[in-house]
């Protein structure tokens, strides 16, 4: 392959690449389908719950023109045939994403929690569902995991991605970048030292205008299906763009993906590319790798079907931008003199980053040690974002996303409020609460009837019967000497104080023995040991003549 560039002085490409292709505008969907389309019922009886999507869901046909498509007058219902498991889990998740609370248990708190969550399901039922939640057949998982690292959730994940692709027609510009979902789960494809400390990485293709997730791929390490000699970056871009090729779109990438070979492959499929290039690529001319350049200078190189713009925003910084959509490179009439390729790249590069920011703002992510559940959280976040985009296009309303999520959660939970299962769970919770209240009141009454003196944490509390008034003076003297720091005087005062305490204990012991004459000697001695604090002279038992 020819990687040679020819330098241009007038910034005009000799052979104009793809340009002027008529693009199909973003359409208005005729009907809004829920991204999470279906789930199996859940009885929460201690067995594993298999959550799988319905692959036979009917997807709406998209019209080709936005202005001519009819707009529904009433809001389409967002939920379809989702069963109790998916709805209960999603309801809590959607509510949790809006009402942030310190911990999971506080979602059902009377003061911190949400009334919608409490009315939808009990906390015990939710914890039981999450404990047994599964997304595949565990009996065949080990066999499938030998060829698919994503086997634990690959079925529902594939159907989710299919719904994302078929439910929406993206616009002219698509952005491809990586997303790291923060997670501490254990899996063989966990990534470290990325935007977060660690997490699961996804390759994402987003529509620039609406931030709709058009396609997504999980990063699972080395791909055995990738042809030998093909770069990982090229394979990822071609797989993500496969449903959207041959329609005159443009894809924006960063320096990890962009290369001249990828630009030629996309150009052969009627798709252009715009992205920064790493200067160590072999197709970059050696003459452009000089370190010192004048500020705001631009140098343009061209080859068949692509242009390379070299721009210096600073004296020791150079930016390389490869474009297959520009037939003419123009600079702005400003101080920085930015080329139009740099300006367009700065405008179109933020699709995935903004999507990730929007998802993290209202996320359902919770702590988990199972990576399929972490992937499920990310899937719900992106499904809610896509549903919001589809709703706005379907109705023509510009509704705030937080209000949309609240309404979505209410509609998903509406079917379970007042149902048979809900009533049974409410009666069970009421009976349990009544029993717990009875036990607590019995314990309180027992404590009131068997009141014990409170323990005071002081050196020598006043409730010690052997602390006589004669010891108050040595105690005050000890405090004074301790503040002064005289060690010799402190040892003398402590020795005198110990003698006084010993005399007080002996005196109280004799009084107690006289008072308890005729009682069991062993019980009396046990009480004396407790009172005396296990002193040296209290080590004798009744058998050794301690109580004569």
For residue 537, pLDDT over 50 is answered with no
pLDDT in tens, 441-482: 554 454 444 444 444 334 444 456 556 667 777 777 777 777
The answer to whether 299 and 276 are in contact (CB under 8 A) is no
The answer to whether 254 and 349 are in contact (CB under 8 A) is yes
Alpha helices in 99-138 (DSSP H): 115-120, 123-132
pLDDT in tens, 483-515: 777 778 888 888 888 888 778 777 777 776 666
Residue range 55-66: mean pLDDT, rounded: 34
Q: Which of 265, 238, 275 has the alpha carbon at shortest distance from 352?
A: 275
The answer to whether 186 and 371 are in contact (CB under 8 A) is yes
Alpha-carbon gap, residue 203 to 210, rounded angstroms? 18
Q: Which of 393, 24, 91 has the alpha carbon at shortest distance from 212?
A: 393
Alpha-carbon gap, residue 444 to 455, rounded angstroms? 19
Q: What is the pLDDT of residue 272?
A: 94
Alpha helices in 272-331 (DSSP H): none
Which one has a higher pLDDT value, 229 or 201? 201
Count of helices and strands (H, E) across the chain = 15, 12
Mean pLDDT of the residues in the chain? 72
Alpha-carbon distances of 520 from 89, 512, 528, 548, rounded to whole Å: 64, 13, 13, 13
Q: What is the pLDDT of residue 244?
A: 94
Q: What is the pLDDT of residue 11?
A: 53
Which one has a higher pLDDT value, 507 or 341? 341
The answer to whether 244 and 214 are in contact (CB under 8 A) is yes
Q: What is the pLDDT of residue 512?
A: 66
Q: What is the pLDDT of residue 496?
A: 81
Residue range 167-171: mean pLDDT, rounded: 92
Q: What's the pTM value of the predicted model, to 2 decimals?
A: 0.62
Mean pLDDT check: name the lowest of 89-93, 123-127, 352-356, 432-436. Answer: 89-93
3-state class (DSSP) for residue 68: coil
Q: What is the pLDDT of residue 217?
A: 93
For residue 405, pLDDT over 50 is answered with yes
Q: How confident is the model at residue 326 (pLDDT cuts 50, 70, 90)?
A: confident
Q: Which of 85-99, 310-324, 449-463 has the highest mean pLDDT?
A: 310-324
């Amino acid at each position: 392959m020819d990687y040679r560039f020819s330098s241009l002085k007038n910034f005009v490409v000799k052979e104009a690449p793809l340009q002027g292709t008529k693009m199909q505008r973003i359409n208005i969907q005729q009907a809004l389908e829920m991204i999470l389309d279906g789930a199996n019922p859940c009885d929460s009886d201690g067995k594993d719950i298999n959550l799988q999507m319905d692959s036979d869901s009917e997807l709406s046909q998209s019209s080709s023109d936005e202005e001519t498509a009819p707009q529904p007058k009433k809001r389409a219902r967002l939920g379809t045939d989702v069963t109790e498991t998916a709805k209960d889990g999603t309801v809590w998740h959607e509510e949790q994403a809006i009402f942030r609370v310190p911990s999971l248990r506080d979602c059902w708190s009377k003061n911190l929690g949400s009334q919608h969550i409490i009315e939808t399901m009990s906390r015990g039922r939710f914890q039981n569902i999450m404990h047994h939640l599964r997304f595949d057949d565990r009996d065949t998982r080990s066999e499938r995991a030998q060829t698919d690292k994503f086997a634990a959730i690959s079925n529902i994940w594939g159907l989710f991605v299919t719904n994302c692709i078929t439910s929406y027609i993206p616009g002219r510009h698509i952005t491809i970048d990586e997303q790291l979902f923060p997670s501490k789960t254990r899996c063989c494809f966990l990534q470290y030292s990325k935007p977060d400390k660690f997490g699961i990485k996804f390759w994402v293709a987003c529509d620039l205008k609406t931030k709709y997730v058009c396609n997504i791929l999980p990063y699972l390490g080395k791909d055995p299906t990738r042809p030998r000699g093909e770069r990982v970056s090229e394979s990822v871009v071609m797989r993500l763009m496969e449903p959207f090729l041959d329609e005159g779109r443009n894809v924006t990438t960063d320096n990890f993906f962009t290369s001249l070979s990828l630009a030629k492959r996309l150009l052969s499929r009627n798709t252009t590319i715009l992205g920064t290039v790493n200067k160590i690529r072999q197709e970059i001319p050696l003459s452009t790798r000089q370190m010192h350049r004048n500020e705001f200078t631009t140098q343009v190189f061209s080859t068949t079907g692509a242009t390379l713009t070299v721009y210096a925003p600073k004296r020791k910084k150079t930016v390389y931008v490869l474009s297959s959509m520009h037939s003419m490179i123009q600079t702005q009439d400003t101080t920085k003199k930015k080329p139009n390729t740099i300006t367009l790249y700065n405008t179109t590069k933020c699709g995935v980053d903004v999507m990730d920011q929007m998802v993290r703002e209202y996320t359902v992510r919770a702590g988990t040690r199972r990576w399929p559940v972490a992937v499920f959280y990310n899937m719900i976040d992106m499904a809610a974002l896509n549903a919001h985009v589809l709703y706005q296009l379907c109705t023509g309303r510009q509704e705030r996303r937080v209000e949309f999520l609240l309404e979505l959660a209410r509609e998903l939970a509406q079917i379970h409020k007042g149902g048979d299962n809900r009533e049974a769970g409410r009666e069970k919770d009421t009976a349990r609460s009544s029993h717990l209240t009875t036990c607590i009141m019995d314990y309180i009454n027992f404590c009131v009837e068997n009141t014990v003196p409170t323990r005071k944490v002081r050196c020598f509390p006043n409730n010690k019967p052997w602390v006589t008034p004669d010891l108050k003076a040595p105690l005050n003297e000890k405090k004074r000497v301790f503040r002064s720091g005289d060690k010799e005087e402190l040892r003398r005062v402590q020795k005198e104080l110990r003698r006084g305490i010993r005399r007080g204990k002996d005196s109280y012991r004799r009084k107690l023995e006289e008072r308890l004459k005729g009682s069991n000697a062993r019980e009396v001695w046990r009480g004396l040991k407790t009172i005396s604090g296990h002193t040296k002279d209290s080590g004798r038992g009744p058998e050794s003549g301690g109580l004569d």
